[in-house]
């Protein structure tokens, strides 16, 4: 009973065309056939989509889709959540079809973050082809990347995800002011049953957009550099300059999405051997770079 990877994310957009321009023309993701719900579906590998952008009244992050190996694993997880008095709604056949999966369930973590739990993959075997010439993304069985979610009730959120089978990779307690007496910001990095350093991170603060950021991992540094140049040329807000994280060695930059949350675009992330890994506590966030800049206004 454990999550295998981050399968997909769902976003709501008041202006889907803005997301299409950002994701396809600027980042270089591949547009797939629209979903039955009218969603823009974006590909980075052989899956039918990894990001679904649903037309709506606001710009926000909606949910993470967490993948399980098979029906017994998913059903055992649903049963465990229900036994812990956590409300779970099992998805309809139409809802599962709209996500291109075989079985689907919905719930929330203690901080109100929405989860979609699923198993079963759908393929049409169309090769991924970036309209901007990217060599590709590190995805497949390690999932689409990672999601960093707001978790004001940090301890409760961590315990909830441990119940789903996530395990600790790293944690940080970062000073947010020069006053040593002020509380530090806690971040828990957690891995699923795949080699990715973390598929989930929980940050002890709220986020009005519904997420802190999501991450996509390109195959090469050139892919990252060219994407950064395109973001700058398009006038997108660069939330953080190029840098290298201390805990997972990801070389990346951050750009603000039309959804109001950031997207980390990186490469060369660490893939630990979980048989020998000992959870760490990092006291710095970066080895170099990652100079942060708040959005204008």
pLDDT at 54 over 90: yes
The SS3 of residue 143 is coil
Report the pLDDT averaged over residues 260-276: 97
CATH of domain 140-289: 3.10.180.10
Please give the structure tokens belonging to residue 125.
Answer: 């075997």
Q: Do domains 5-119 and 140-289 have the same CATH topology?
A: yes
Cα-based distances in Å from 180 to 9, 173, 184, 283: 37, 12, 9, 14
Tokens for 97, please give them: 């079809």
CATH number of 5-119: 3.10.180.10
**How confident is the model at residue 183, as a pLDDT?**
82
What number of other Cβ atoms are within 10 A of residue 95's Cβ?
Answer: 18
Question: Which pLDDT does position 165 carry in this prediction?
Answer: 94
In what helix (H) or strand (E) does residue 159 lie, and over which residues does it extend?
A: helix 154-163
Residue with tokens 């956590």: 86
Which residue carries 């090769």 as its tokens?
A: 127
Using the predicted structure, report yes or no on whether residue 177 has a pLDDT greater than 80.
no
- Domain boundaries, given as residue ranges, for the chain: 5-119, 140-289
Residue 228 vs residues 124, 238, 287, 296: alpha-carbon distances, Å: 31, 8, 20, 19
The mean per-residue pLDDT over the stretch 37-56 comes to: 96
Query: Is the pLDDT assigned to residue 295 strictly greater than 90?
Result: no
pTM confidence score? 0.97
- DSSP helix/strand/coil, 254: strand
Assign 82 to helix, strand or coil.
Answer: helix
Reply yes or no on whether the pLDDT at 1 is more than 70.
Answer: no
Query: How far is residue 152's CA from residue 29's CA, in Å, rounded to a whole number?
Result: 32
pLDDT (tens digit, 9 = 90+) per residue, 29-41?
999 998 888 899 9
pLDDT of residue 23: 98
Q: State mean pLDDT over 163-167.
A: 95
Q: Are 269 and 197 in contact (CB under 8 A)?
A: yes
Judge whether residue 184 has pLDDT over 90: no
Mean pLDDT score of the chain: 96
């Amino acid at each position: 009973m454990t999550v295998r990877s981050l399968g997909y994310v769902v976003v709501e957009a008041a202006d889907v065309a803005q997301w299409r321009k950002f994701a396809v023309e600027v980042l270089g993701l591949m547009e797939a056939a629209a979903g039955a719900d009218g969603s823009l579906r974006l590909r980075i590998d052989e899956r039918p989509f990894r990001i679904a952008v649903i037309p709506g009244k606001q710009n926000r992050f909606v949910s993470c889709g967490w993948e399980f190996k098979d029906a017994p694993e998913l059903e055992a997880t649903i049963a465990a959540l229900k036994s812990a008095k956590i409300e779970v709604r099992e998805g309809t056949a139409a809802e599962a079809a709209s996500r291109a999966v075989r079985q689907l369930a919905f719930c929330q973590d203690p901080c109100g973050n929405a989860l979609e739990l699923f198993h079963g993959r759908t393929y049409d075997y169309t090769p991924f082809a970036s309209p901007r010439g990217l060599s590709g993304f590190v995805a497949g069985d390690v999932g689409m990347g990672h999601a960093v979610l707001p978790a004001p009730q940090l301890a409760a959120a961590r315990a909830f995800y441990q119940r789903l089978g996530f395990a600790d990779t790293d944690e940080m307690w970062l000073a947010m002011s020069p006053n040593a007496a002020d509380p530090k910001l806690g971040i828990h990095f957690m891995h699923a049953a795949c080699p990715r350093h973390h598929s989930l991170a929980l940050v002890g603060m709220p986020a009005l957009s519904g997420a802190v950021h999501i991450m996509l991992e390109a195959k090469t540094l050139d892919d990252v550099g060219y994407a950064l140049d395109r973001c700058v040329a398009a006038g997108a807000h660069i939330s953080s300059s190029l840098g290298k994280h201390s805990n997972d060695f990801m070389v990346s930059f951050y750009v603000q999405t039309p959804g109001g949350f950031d997207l980390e675009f990186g490469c060369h992330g660490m893939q630990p051997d979980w048989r020998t890994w000992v959870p760490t506590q990092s006291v710095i966030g970066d080895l170099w770079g990652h100079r942060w800049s708040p959005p204008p206004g």
